[in-house]
């Protein structure tokens, strides 16, 4: 058919007075353009048919996996091969008298096929990645770094194939020839290689997941992306910090995932008691403390234990330092412990205690150690503040003073 078209055009231009050379050139050029136009029309026809049939079928299915084929344009990119395949088949027939043009078109067509095939493979990789990301496992073991590495390898293969074809050599010969540039390539791709190794270590050792709250240097927030060369962290002020993936392995960082997945968020805060306000309890103080419902039974039991001990050991209680006696600080500790034990917003299945820390120049630190059931930051801080508001306000009722530096 193409040969007949060329012959008709050749006769037409010859009858119009064109020389043999120009008549042949114009007729063959028009025939080639016609082949190219037909290929482009077939491309759009194929895309139209796919959209009206395959796409509609995919969209009607219940599964969302096949939707990724549409989202990543796999079939659309495969259709890009239709015009070039037609051109390759018809070039020799359309341009029989112009071997130089044939070679140029054949070379360009093959290079086009290599590039488009790489694009199709990119889409296939994206489909696999998107399907994997639809599972919860992707949050535990993200494959962003691996996907990016595969794409880099595809690009390298594409470039090597192009160089091999243009030089007319085997791809193995090209690779050997590039061996002398290995040092330069290692230098250029140093960050990529380190990032790839780092991302593998992060994934295999489960050191980091998307959604983890981490603290590292100037980063303090949630991990939003883990890729080949960097980790993106959205801080609490909504700024974005980018950390090299390799440094996540070589440097220290804090991951709060254990707290998020655990039964509560830890409260570990202290108030400092003025040492001069600590004293033994007098009978009047004991009677007053017994009026506090949370510790009334505790004081009665404690008083009974102390009286029994002092009597059993024949201790002279006329001097208050003899034997065992209660102190206002000890009673206050018991009160705080009873107070947090009665708080429904704390996890009572985890450690709860009130303890003294090492005294210092400011006084005696009294620490509350407990776990909030609600791990959300704002509610956690509200609960912690409520607890210490009460403790600070209650301290004077036990004749205790909170240390405050005087200016």
Would you kindly state where each structural domain of the chain is located, as residue ranges?
Answer: 2-134, 141-150+158-261, 265-398
**Residue 182: predicted pLDDT:** 61
Taking the C-alpha atoms of residue 373 and residue 222, their distance in angstroms, rounded to an integer, is 20
**Residue 245: predicted pLDDT:** 80
**Residue 31: predicted pLDDT:** 65
Give backbone dihedrals phi and psi of 186, rounded to 5 degrees, phi first.
-60, -40
> For residue 34, is pLDDT > 60?
yes
pLDDT band, residue 235 (cuts 50/70/90): confident
**Residue 23: predicted pLDDT:** 62
Out of 3.90.920.10, 2.30.30.60, 3.30.1330.40, 1.10.10.10, which CATH number does the structure's domain 141-150+158-261 have? 2.30.30.60
Contact 263, 347 (CB under 8 A): yes
Question: For 174-190, what is the mean pLDDT?
Answer: 63
Structure tokens at 179: 């061996």
> For residue 269, is pLDDT > 80?
yes
Taking the C-alpha atoms of residue 320 and residue 189, their distance in angstroms, rounded to an integer, is 78
pLDDT band, residue 183 (cuts 50/70/90): low
* Higher per-residue pLDDT: 171 or 333: 333
Q: Per mean pLDDT, which range of 99-103, 122-126, 398-402 is the poorest?
A: 99-103
Has this prediction a pTM greater than 0.75?
no
Closest CA to 212 of 263, 248, 255: 255
Taking the C-alpha atoms of residue 321 and residue 65, their distance in angstroms, rounded to an integer, is 78
> For residue 95, is pLDDT > 80?
no
> For residue 4, is pLDDT > 60?
no
Structure tokens at 178: 């590039």
Q: Per mean pLDDT, which range of 120-124, 186-190, 305-309, 340-344 is the poorest?
A: 186-190
Question: For 235-263, what is the mean pLDDT?
Answer: 79
* Range from 78-92, 184-198, 204-218, 352-366 that averages highest in pLDDT: 352-366
Taking the C-alpha atoms of residue 402 and residue 367, their distance in angstroms, rounded to an integer, is 13
Question: For 312-341, what is the mean pLDDT?
Answer: 89
Q: Per mean pLDDT, which range of 15-24, 321-330, 339-348, 383-392 is the poorest?
A: 15-24
**Residue 268: predicted pLDDT:** 92
Instruction: Give Cα separations from 164 to 159, 173, 174, 180, 338 (angstroms).
Output: 8, 8, 6, 17, 80
Give the SS3 label for residue 77: helix
> For residue 266, is pLDDT > 70?
yes
> For residue 334, is pLDDT > 90?
yes
Beta carbons within 10 angstroms of residue 212's beta carbon: 19
> For residue 229, is pLDDT > 70?
yes
Sort strands 219-226 and 230-235 into parallel, antiparallel or unpaired: antiparallel
Question: For 166-182, what is the mean pLDDT?
Answer: 67
> For residue 225, is pLDDT > 70?
yes
Taking the C-alpha atoms of residue 43 and residue 80, their distance in angstroms, rounded to an integer, is 7
Q: Per mean pLDDT, which range of 53-57, 98-102, 169-173, 212-216 is the poorest?
A: 98-102
Question: For 73-95, what is the mean pLDDT?
Answer: 77
> For residue 1, is pLDDT > 60?
no
pLDDT band, residue 355 (cuts 50/70/90): very high
């Amino acid at each position: 058919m193409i040969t007949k078209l060329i012959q008709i055009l050749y006769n037409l231009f010859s009858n119009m007075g064109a020389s043999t050379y120009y008549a042949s050139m114009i007729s063959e050029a028009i025939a080639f353009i016609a082949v190219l136009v037909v290929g482009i029309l077939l491309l759009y026809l194929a895309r139209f048919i796919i959209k009206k049939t395959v796409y509609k079928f995919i969209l009607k299915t219940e599964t969302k996996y096949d939707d990724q084929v549409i989202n990543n344009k796999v079939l659309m990119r495969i259709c890009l091969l239709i015009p070039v395949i037609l051109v390759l088949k018809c070039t020799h027939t359309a341009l029989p008298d112009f071997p130089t043009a044939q070679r140029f078109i054949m070379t360009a067509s093959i290079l086009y096929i290599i590039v488009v095939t790489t694009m199709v493979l990119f889409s296939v990789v994206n489909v696999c990645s998107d399907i994997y990301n639809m599972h919860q496992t992707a949050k535990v073991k993200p494959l962003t770094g691996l996907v990016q590495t595969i794409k880099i390898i595809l690009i390298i293969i594409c470039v090597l194939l192009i160089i091999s074809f243009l030089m007319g050599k085997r791809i193995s010969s090209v690779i050997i020839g590039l061996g002398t540039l290995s040092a330069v390539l290692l230098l250029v791709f140093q960050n990529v290689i380190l990032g790839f190794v780092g991302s593998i270590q992060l994934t295999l050792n489960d050191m980091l997941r998307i959604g983890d709250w981490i603290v590292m240097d100037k980063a303090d927030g949630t991990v939003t992306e883990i890729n080949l060369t960097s980790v993106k962290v959205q801080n609490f002020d909504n700024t974005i910090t980018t950390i090299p993936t390799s440094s996540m392995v070589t440097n220290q960082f804090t991951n709060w995932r254990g707290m998020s997945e655990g039964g509560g968020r830890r409260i570990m805060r202290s108030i400092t008691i003025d040492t001069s306000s600590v004293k033994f309890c007098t009978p009047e103080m004991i009677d007053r403390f017994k009026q506090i419902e949370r510790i009334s039974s505790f004081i009665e039991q404690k008083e009974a234990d102390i009286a029994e001990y002092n009597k059993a050991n024949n201790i002279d209680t006329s001097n208050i330092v003899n034997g065992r006696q209660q102190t206002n600080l000890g009673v206050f500790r018991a009160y705080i412990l009873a107070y947090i034990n009665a708080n429904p917003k704390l996890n009572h299945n985890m450690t709860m205690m009130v303890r003294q820390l090492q005294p210092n120049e400011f006084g005696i630190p009294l620490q509350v150690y407990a776990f909030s059931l609600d791990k959300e930051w704002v509610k956690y801080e509200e609960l912690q503040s409520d607890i210490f508001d009460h403790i600070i306000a209650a301290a004077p009722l036990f004749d205790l003073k909170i240390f405050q530096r005087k200016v």
